[in-house]
């Protein structure tokens, strides 16, 4: 007797046989096959945060990998777990990506113990990005609080590298204490660039601190804003971007010209596990970058 049913082998689908590229989100692919990557350098930023320079090992995969500022990758330490981390390096930089990671949970703790040369898995990039192209010809406010500088660093690089596309550019950064400042070796470089206004503030100064002390909104008081010709990108804890966005709203900036990046627990990055749902909006698909008007409409966002 002839058989009624024959096995259908999904790996034989032509889409599945093509090289893995997460930018083609509608294509069938090995969604759990991560890019094996090497940690090529580890840079200690503070007691809690390290910057990992990570390079995809396969030459073709690395050449294919591209991302936009604000997007994230899922970083897997086999045997330990997988976590979403936003990319901190410049989108134009193609050799390796930089991931700023705070020691906070199981996976980040083991990553902090990792040595140069260790192999991790990367999947992505995932999520929405800051629409830098749309911001051309406008003033740009890049505002970060605490660890928020990690996701903000990609749009900072993008704006700096395309400086002539924008009017005034302000980078405002605040943390609780001077010891918590991220990328402080980079401030001088950013400051020396003509026509970039970098301001850093801390909530509690210490003996060595000579800069301003106070909340981040204080820095905004010194910036003259032309509301209808300004775009703002704000990264930081919800309580911080809530105050900053309220301030900018009072200045008259429309809410759809302010962009924030949200963080949630994630297990897939692809709109399947539901763990990142805000209401029923997937942070991984519709976010992590949202304009503030959308955030106002997400009931449990702030």
Partner 1 sequence: MLFRVLSKKEFRKFVGLLLADTEVIAPKQIGVSTDGKPIHQYLPVQAFGEIDLEYETTEYPAKTYFLPYRENLSICSFDEDDWTREIHYRLQPRVLLGLHACDINALLKLDKVLAGDRYPSPYYISRRRNTFIIGIDHDPCEGGFCQSVGADVVTHGFDLYLTDLGDRYFIAINSDRGFNALKLVAAKEPTKRDNNDYLKVRSRIASQFEPLEMHNLPNLLDIEFESDVWKRWSEKCMSCGSCSMVCPTCYCYGTTERISMNNEQGAKIKQLYSCNFLDFAAVAGGHNFRADRETRLKYRYYHQHRGFMEAYEEPLCVGCYRCGRACLAGINPPDIIRDLQTEHQE
**E strand segments, 93-212:** 97-102, 119-126, 139-145, 169-175, 196-202
Q: Shortest distance, CB of residue 274 to partner 1, whole angstroms?
A: 3
- Residue 48 or 223 with smaller CB distance to partner 1: 48
Place of tokens 């963080």: 263
Report if residue 285 touches partner 1, rule: CB under 8 A. Answer: yes
Q: How many residues bind partner 1 (CB under 8 A)?
A: 58
| Residue 8 engages partner 1 in binding (rule: CB under 8 A) | yes
The 3-state DSSP class for residue 53 equals strand
Please name which of 51, 54, 67 lies closest in space to residue 100, comparing C-alpha atoms.
51
- Residue among 62 and 102 whose Cβ is closer to partner 1: 102
Judged by CB under 8 A, does residue 49 bind partner 1? no
Is 25 a binding residue for partner 1 by CB under 8 A? The answer is yes
Q: What is the nearest approach in angstroms of partner 1 to the Cβ of residue 196?
A: 31
Distance of closest approach, residue 22 Cβ to partner 1, in angstroms: 8
- In angstroms, the CA 254 to CA 137 distance is 16
User: What is the rounded CA–CA span in Å between residue 273 and residue 191?
Assistant: 42
Tell me whether residue 36 is exposed, middle or buried, using C-beta atoms within 10 angstroms of its C-beta: 0 to 12, 13 to 18, 19 or more.
middle
121 in contact with partner 1 (CB under 8 A): yes
Q: Give, as one character, the DSSP assignment of residue 19.
A: P
Chosen residue from 14, 207, 221, 279 binding partner 1 by CB under 8 A: 279
CA dist list (Å): 107 to 104, 118, 231, 287: 8, 14, 35, 23
Least Å distance, CB 27 to partner 1, is 8
x-marked contacts with partner 1 along 96-115 as a string, rule CB under 8 A: ------x-xxx-x-------
Residue 239-278 contact track with partner 1, rule CB under 8 A, x = bound: ------------------------xxx-xx-xxxxxx-xx
Contact call for residue 221 and partner 1 (CB under 8 A): no
Answer whether 295's CB lies under 8 Å from 262's CB: yes
List the one residue from 40, 118, 223, 255 that touches partner 1 (CB under 8 A). Answer: 118
5 binds partner 1 (CB under 8 A): yes
Tally Cβ neighbours within 10 Å of residue 260. Answer: 30
Task: Tell me which stretch binds partner 1 (CB under 8 A): 6-14, 58-66, 155-163, 182-190.
Answer: 6-14
Q: Which residues of 112-143 are buried (b: 16+ CB within 10 A; e: fewer)?
A: beeeeebebbbbbbbbbbbbbeebeebbbbbb
Structure tokens at 112: 């902090």
Applying CB under 8 A, which residues contact partner 1?
1, 3-11, 16, 25-34, 36, 76-83, 102, 104-106, 108, 117-119, 121, 263-265, 267-268, 270-275, 277-281, 285, 299-300
């Amino acid at each position: 007797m002839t058989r009624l049913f024959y096995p259908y082998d999904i790996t034989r689908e032509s889409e599945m046989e093509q090289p893995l590229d997460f930018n083609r989100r509608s294509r069938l692919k090995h969604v759990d096959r991560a890019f094996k990557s090497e940690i090529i350098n580890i840079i200690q930023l503070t007691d809690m945060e390290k910057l990992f320079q990570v390079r995809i090992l396969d030459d073709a995969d690395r050449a294919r990998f591209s991302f936009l500022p604000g997007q994230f990758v899922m970083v897997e330490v086999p045997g330990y777990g997988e976590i979403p981390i936003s990319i901190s390096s410049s989108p134009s930089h193609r050799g390796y990506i930089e991931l700023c990671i705070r020691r906070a949970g199981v996976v980040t703790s083991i990553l902090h113990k990792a040595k140069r040369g260790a192999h991790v898995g990367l999947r992505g990039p995932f999520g929405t990005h800051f629409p830098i192209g749309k911001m051309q010809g406008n003033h740009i406010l890049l505002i970060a609080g605490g660890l928020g500088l990690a996701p903000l660093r990609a749009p900072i690089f993008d704006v700096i590298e395309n400086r002539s596309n924008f009017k005034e550019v302000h980078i405002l950064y605040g943390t609780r204490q001077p010891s918590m400042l991220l990328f402080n070796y980079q401030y001088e470089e950013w400051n020396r660039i003509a026509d970039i206004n970098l301001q850093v503030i801390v909530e509690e100064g210490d003996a060595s601190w000579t800069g301003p002390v106070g909340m981040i909104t204080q820095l905004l008081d010194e910036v003259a804003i032309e509301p209808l010709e300004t775009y703002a990108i704000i990264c930081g804890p919800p309580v911080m971007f809530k105050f900053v966005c309220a301030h900018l709203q009072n200045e008259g900036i429309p809410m759809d010209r302010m962009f924030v990046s949200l963080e949630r627990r994630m297990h897939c990055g692809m709109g399947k596990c539901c763990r990142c749902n805000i209401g029923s909006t997937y942070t991984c698909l519709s976010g992590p970058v949202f304009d503030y008007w959308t955030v106002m409409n997400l009931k449990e966002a702030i």
